[in-house]
Amino acid sequence: MAEVKNKQVVLKDYATGFPKESDMDIVEGTISLKLPEGSNEVLLKNLYLSCDPYMQMLMSKIEGLEGFGTYSPGSPLTGYGVAKVLESGHPDYKKGDLVWGFTKWEEYSLVPSSQILFKIEHTDVPLSYYIGILGIPGMTAYAGFFEVGLPKKGERVFVSAASGAVGQLVGQFAKFTGCYVVGSAGSKDKVDLLKNKLGFDDAFNYKEEPDLNAALKRYFPEGIDIYFENVGGKTLDAVLLNMRVHGRIVVCGMVSQYNLAHPEGVTNLANLIFKRICMQGFGVADYYQLYPKFLEYVMPKIKEGKIVYVEDIVEGLEKAPPALIGLFSGRNVGKQVIVLARE
């Protein structure tokens, strides 16, 4: 069986400080399109790759990330993707199936079947949605908001990094639940997007707020019931001063802290005691069993046009390194997607 060229994005060496494009290389290898004899692995043609904030930690060899896997210098980056099955040694998958799960940053990948999370049954929506609203970001927003946040109608919700892949959905889920929701983002365009397209009640540019505590008191004069945490640092510290009694802080990410040599301290944690706040971290992998329930919730809203999902799409593996680095600095608007092939 013929071997084909296989372009890859590999990590040159672990990043020191903030990751850079130069920490990655585009290389061209080869791959056989025939499974090894007796293999139960799955050969994939990668169609869409996901850029996600946690990847910057893996590029920098930060301790304590066992649940996210590891990156190795000289090997392709890994992440979530949508792919087409070319050959399968596993009975659950056959040639031509569309799947989403964990793959490598390359054109073709040979992966263990355990890395495929779900077979794609609904093909009447864009396939890129399976690394966005119907994939990990969607499940993260759903599980974090409903299972950890436990929202009730009329509650006040604050979302940081609100125009990102997860935040934009949390805000809309909050509105569907009958909550008041405010988001923060890092540019005027993103704030406009939150207010005018994504249906947030209000939004602000945190870069234009010298006093985040005062800003939150302006938008939440009666305090915050649920904070969906994506950034950490100074924002978290200010939020703690503005939480209501029995409030919930859903800790999804802390993107402002991942690559600091000395992460910022949080000084207002005593409010967890004073206000009986529940602050809980979570990982989406603990909630995969809810995927069918999640699809029941979100799929009708997509088909009826009740939910908006903003994607930032680039074409070609060569564009992957700048797209990934741009994600860490907030250059993207919405979910960052890399298209390798559309089928």
Q: Which residues pair with 104 in a beta bridge?
A: 78
The secondary structure of residue 308, as a DSSP letter, is: -
Given a cut of 90, whether residue 170 has pLDDT beyond it is: yes
Strands 78-88 and 335-339, bridge-based pairing:
unpaired
Q: CA–CA distance from 191 to each of 89, 161, 168, 182, 211 (Å)?
A: 48, 10, 11, 10, 18
| Lowest-confidence segment of 15-19, 42-46, 141-145, 276-280 by average pLDDT | 15-19
Give yes or no for a contact between 226 and 157, defined as CB atoms under 8 angstroms apart. yes
Q: By three-state DSSP, how is residue 62 classified? A: coil
- Among 83, 137, 128, smallest CA distance to 105 is for 83
Structure confidence by residue, pLDDT tens digits, 218-260: 999 999 999 999 999 999 999 999 999 999 999 999 988 877 7
Q: What confidence score (pLDDT) does residue 118 get? A: 94
Amino acid in position 253: G
pLDDT band at 328 (very low <50, low <70, confident <90, very high): confident
pLDDT band at 65 (very low <50, low <70, confident <90, very high): low
CATH architecture of the domain with range 3-132+310-339: Alpha-Beta Complex (3.90)
For residue 341, count other CB atoms closer than 10 A to its CB: 13
- Among 199, 204, 157, smallest CA distance to 179 is for 157
- The mean per-residue pLDDT over the stretch 146-173 comes to 97
Q: What confidence score (pLDDT) does residue 1 get? A: 57
Phi, psi of 162 (to 5 degrees): -75, -15
Burial state string for 26-45 with b = 16 or more CB within 10 A and e = fewer than 16:
eeeeebeeebeeebebbbbb
- The mean per-residue pLDDT over the stretch 335-343 comes to 93
Q: Per-domain residue ranges for the chain?
A: 3-132+310-339, 136-285
- % of the chain residues with pLDDT over 90: 84
Residue with tokens 């850029």: 51
Rg of the chain in Å (alpha carbons): 21
Higher pLDDT, 223 or 19: 223
CATH superfamily of 136-285: NAD(P)-binding Rossmann-like Domain (3.40.50.720)
| Lowest-confidence segment of 44-48, 202-206, 255-259, 294-298 by average pLDDT | 255-259
Burial state string for 155-171 with b = 16 or more CB within 10 A and e = fewer than 16:
bbbbbbbbbbbbbbbbb
Its pTM stands at 0.92
Cα separation, 260 vs 277, in Å, equals 27
Structure tokens at 293: 């329930």
Given a cut of 70, whether residue 67 has pLDDT beyond it is: no
Give residue 5's Cα distance to chain centre: 30
| Lowest-confidence segment of 37-46, 61-70, 115-124 by average pLDDT | 61-70
Structure tokens at 100: 């989403």
pLDDT band at 84 (very low <50, low <70, confident <90, very high): very high
Helix (H) or strand (E) holding 86: strand 78-88
Helix (H) or strand (E) holding 58: helix 55-59
